[in-house]
């Protein structure tokens, strides 16, 4: 039984530990990721942690060529774009995540509907080291 | 429920002004607002003394970030000489000045004030492109930032979802860009005044002058498919899908309906308003629509008793080409998945059945984010009064127009309907 408070801070701690965690409503069973304080279906605040299956399907994506400063620091730029997307999850929800294992410089090769599995990418040095939620093609 | 909202007493616009939009190293926010305010005062047909303004609302997204100065209410109050009266800053990302109008609308409708100034200002060009990208990304949803989304990135993702669902492609978004650039030369206040053809010719001339190979493009789309002319920003959003970085200001003068004729014989009445809130990509109900738009539209149509068929033309928030396409469907001007076909047939051109963004839109007019909402209203004011000059919608008696203003990545959407009686 996971006792950490339901919060974005806890959610990010889990990511650092290689866990993709959402919250599940105790009353109606609806699952949310990132976790929510209140259930949007029934209004309950009885939420508990729920480990996501880590599977899904690519629903939308973009390949970023003009990157914000924190991604430029990680080495991304016009010549080295990165892909980020939206994943439809079997739990009946969606999540935004970095997309690995695709060629971001060839966006036409990336297909919506591709089965995906979760991945955790560690980037940055020292105090800036962080784990990002990512998905990659399942096969 | 939402379609029962009413305006307590009528509100009319009796003056409007905007600065030129562009990148101005030698002008600051006060200079820009002064320019808009001067035109607004001059636009009041029967004359107006600024001392009669009873309160003001000023939209500003993030001058705090862009020029390290916050708290713009009193600065603008002092600029236009209405201290010590109340001037409040509103923030709703790119919809900030529509929220200023909304506060003014509610203040007059409630009976609290009779004469109100609403406007907005933003000063962005003193930052680098990377800094602006970071500054704008402050208005995405938090999880999008974690996943590396930029503003264009969020809209790029929506575009891939739209393409997949309806079978559209980049060539359809190009029709929007080409159309906006057709209107651009007709708007002297806009940031860009060239058609895509003009820009292609300029590029060719530059290449010839430098002794480089001169590009050969059969038409606009061939140029727009050429990454040397139109490089990717956040695929499928390319440079020409994106609005520019801009400085500018705009404002309107709003008064109670019963005194409107003291100011002009041609007031423009605000007959419907709606505003909605939306969630990030992970939680929104559809990747090809903005839930906040649907809420805003339902409220504004319900309040006005009008339907999408009654709207004769509109300014919509084309921060990115795909946004214009989604908006015209969300607002009911075209069916879901039908907008791109209507655009391809020219229906949103100035001469078309439903002119969209006669001003050139954010793409060409520019997008100083806090100034955009009331600048859209400036265009509707001009068109409804028959004062839009060369870009006046031809051959139509205009009496109903609308503006749709989006903040962030759809977190705030507004829809406002205007009427000339
Ligand atoms: Zn529940």
Q: Is the pLDDT of residue B411 over 80?
A: yes
Of B156, B160, B232, which has the smallest distance from its Cβ to A112's Cβ?
B160
pLDDT at B2 over 50: no
Rounded-to-integer distance, Cα B307 and Cα B301, Å: 6
Interchain proximity B235–A68, CB inside 8 Å: no
Q: Could you report the predicted ipTM of this complex, rounded to two decimals?
A: 0.97
Query: Is A28 in CB contact (< 8 Å) with chain B?
Result: no
Identify the three-state secondary structure at position B346: coil
> Is the pLDDT higher at A26 or at B6?
A26
Q: Which of A118-132, B328-342, B363-377 has the weakest average pLDDT? A: A118-132
CA of B287 to the centre of ligand 1 (A): 24
* C-alpha to C-alpha distance for B279 and B285, rounded to whole angstroms: 9
CA of A7 to the centre of ligand 1 (A): 17
Element at B102 (helix H, strand E): helix B96-109
Q: Give the B-side interface with A, CB within 8 Å.
A: 129-131, 133-134, 137, 142-144, 146-150, 152-154, 156-161, 164, 231-237, 280-283, 287
Residue B371: its pLDDT value, please?
98
Q: Tell me the pLDDT tens digit for each residue of B283-324.
A: 999 999 999 999 999 999 999 999 999 999 999 999 999 999
For B194, the 3-state DSSP assignment is coil
**pTM score above 0.90:** yes
- The pLDDT of residue B416 is above 90: yes
B189-213 pLDDT tens trace: 999 999 999 999 999 999 999 999 9
Flag if A96 and B144 touch (Cβ within 8 Å).
yes
Partner B contacted by A93 (CB < 8 A): yes
CA distances to B61, B147, B151, B270 from B296, rounded to whole Å, are: 20, 28, 22, 15
A3, B279, B297 from B284: Cα distances, Å: 29, 5, 17
Could you write out the DSSP letters of every residue in chain A? ---S-SSHHHHHHHHHTT--EEEEETTT--EESS--SS-TTT----EEEEE---EEEEEEEEEESS--HHHHTTT-BTTB-EEEEEEE-TTS-EEEEEE-SS-TT-GGG--TT-EEEEEEEEESSGGG-EEEEEEEE--
The angle at the Cα of B65, spanning B120 to B180, to the nearest 5 degrees, equals 50
Per-residue pLDDT band for A56 (boundaries 50, 70, 90) equals very high
Using the structure block, give the residue that is written with the tokens 């020219």. Answer: B346
- pLDDT value at position B1? 46
Per-residue pLDDT band at A63 (split at 50, 70, 90): very high
Helix-helix angle B151-166:B321-330, to 10 degrees: 60
The minimal CB distance from B149 to the residues A84, A113, A133 is found for A84
B219-231 pLDDT, tens digit per residue, is 999 999 999 999 9
SS (H, E, C) A26-41: CCCCCEECCCCCCCCC
Cα B202 to ligand 1 centre (Å): 59
Question: Chain B contacts of A98, Cβ < 8 Å?
Answer: 147-148
Pairing mode of beta strands B55-59, B115-123:
parallel
pLDDT digits (tens, 9 = 90+) for B238-257: 999 999 999 999 999 999 99
Nearest to B269 by CA among B384, B110, B394, B383: B384
- Tell which residue, B75, B54, B49, B47, has the closest CA to residue B118: B54
Neighbours of B60 (CB within 10 A): 32
CB–CB contact A84 B148 (8 Å): yes
Nearest to B282 among A96, A98, A107 (CB): A96
> What element of type H or E holds B57?
strand B55-59
**pLDDT at residue B3, rounded to an integer:** 52
Q: How far is B322 from chain A (nearest CA, A)?
A: 13
Substitution target in A37, A58, A66 with the highest count of B β-carbons within 10 Å is A66
B60-69 confidence digits (pLDDT tens): 999 999 999 9
The DSSP code for B356 is B
Residue B353 φ/ψ, nearest 5 degrees:
-65, -35
Query: If you measure CA to CA, which chain A residue comes closest to B169?
Result: A108
In the sheet that B115-123 helps form, which strands lie side by side, from edge to edge? B87-90, B55-59, B115-123, B247-256, B11-18, B268-277, B412-419, B400-407, B313-315
Contacts B129 to A, Cβ<8 Å: 66
**Would you call A65 and B137 a contact, using CB atoms and an 8 Å cutoff?**
no
- Could B134 and A68 be called an inter-chain contact, meaning their C-beta atoms sit closer than 8 Å? yes
Q: How far is CA A106 from the centre of its chain?
A: 22
**Ligand 1 center to residue A107 CA distance, Å?**
38
- pLDDT at residue A1 greater than cutoff 70: no
| Mean pLDDT, rounded, for B149-175 | 97
Per-residue pLDDT reduced to its tens digit, B65-116: 999 999 999 999 999 999 999 999 999 999 999 999 999 999 999 999 999 9
Architecture of domain A55-137: Beta Barrel (2.40)
Among all residues of B, which ones are annotated catalytic?
94, 367
């Amino acid at each position: 039984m996971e006792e950490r408070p339901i919060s974005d801070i806890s959610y990010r701690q889990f990511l650092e530990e290689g866990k993709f965690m959402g919250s599940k409503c105790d009353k109606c069973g609806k699952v949310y990721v990132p976790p929510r304080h209140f259930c949007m279906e029934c209004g309950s605040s009885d939420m508990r942690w729920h480990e996501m299956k880590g599977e899904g399907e690519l629903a939308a994506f973009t390949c970023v060529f003009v990157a914000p400063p924190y991604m430029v620091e990680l080495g991304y730029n016009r010549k080295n774009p990165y892909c980020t997307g939206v994943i439809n999850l079997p739990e009946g929800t969606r999540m935004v995540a970095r997309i690995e294992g695709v060629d971001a410089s060839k966006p036409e090769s990336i297909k919506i509907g591709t089965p995906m599995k979760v991945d955790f990418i560690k980037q940055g040095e020292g105090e800036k080291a962080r784990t990002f939620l990512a998905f990659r093609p399942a096969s | 429920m939402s379609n029962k909202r009413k305006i307590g007493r009528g509100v009319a616009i009796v003056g409007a002004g905007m600065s030129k939009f562009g990148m101005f190293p030698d002008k600051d926010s006060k200079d820009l607002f002064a320019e808009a305010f001067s035109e607004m005062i001059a636009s009041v047909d029967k004359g107006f003394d600024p001392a009669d303004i009873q309160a003001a609302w000023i939209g500003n997204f993030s001058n705090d970030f862009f020029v390290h100065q916050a708290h713009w209410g009193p600065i603008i109050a002092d600029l236009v000489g209405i201290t010590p009266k109340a001037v409040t800053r509103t923030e709703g990302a790119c919809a900030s000045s529509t929220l200023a109008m909304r506060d003014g609308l509610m203040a007059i409708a409630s009976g609290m004030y009779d004469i109100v100034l609403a406007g907005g200002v933003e000063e962005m060009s003193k930052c680098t492109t990377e800094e602006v990208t970071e500054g704008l990304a402050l208005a995405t949803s938090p999880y999008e930032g974690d996943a590396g989304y930029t503003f264009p990135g969020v809209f790029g993702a929506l575009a891939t979802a739209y393409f997949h669902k309806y079978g559209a492609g980049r060539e359809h978004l190009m029709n929007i860009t080409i159309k906006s650039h057709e209107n651009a030369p007709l708007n002297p206040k806009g940031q860009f005044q060239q058609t895509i053809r003009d820009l292609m010719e300029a590029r060719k001339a530059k290449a010839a002058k430098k002794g480089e190979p001169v590009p050969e493009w059969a038409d606009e789309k061939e140029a727009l498919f050429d990454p040397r002319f139109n490089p990717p920003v956040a695929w499928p959003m390319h440079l020409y899908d994106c609005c520019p970085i801009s400085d500018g200001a705009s404002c309107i003068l709003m008064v109670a309906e019963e005194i409107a004729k003291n100011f002009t014989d041609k007031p423009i009445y605000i007959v419907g308003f709606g505003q909605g809130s939306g969630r990030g990509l992970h939680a929104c109900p559809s990747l090809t629509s903005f839930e906040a738009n649907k809420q805003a539209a339902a409220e504004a149509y319900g309040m006005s008793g009008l339907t999408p068929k009654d709207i004769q033309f509109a300014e919509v928030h084309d921060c990115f080409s795909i946004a214009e396409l989604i908006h015209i469907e969300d607002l009911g001007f075209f069916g879901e998945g039908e907008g791109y076909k209507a655009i391809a047939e020219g229906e949103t051109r100035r001469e078309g059945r439903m002119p969209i963004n006669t001003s050139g839109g954010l793409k060409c007019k520019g997008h100083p984010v806090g100034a955009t909402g009331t600048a859209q209203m400036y265009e509707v004011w001009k068109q409804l009064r028959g004062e839009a000059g060369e870009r006046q919608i031809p051959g139509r008696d205009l009496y109903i127009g609308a503006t749709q203003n989006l903040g962030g990545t759809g977190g705030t959407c507004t829809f406002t309907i205007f009427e000339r009686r």
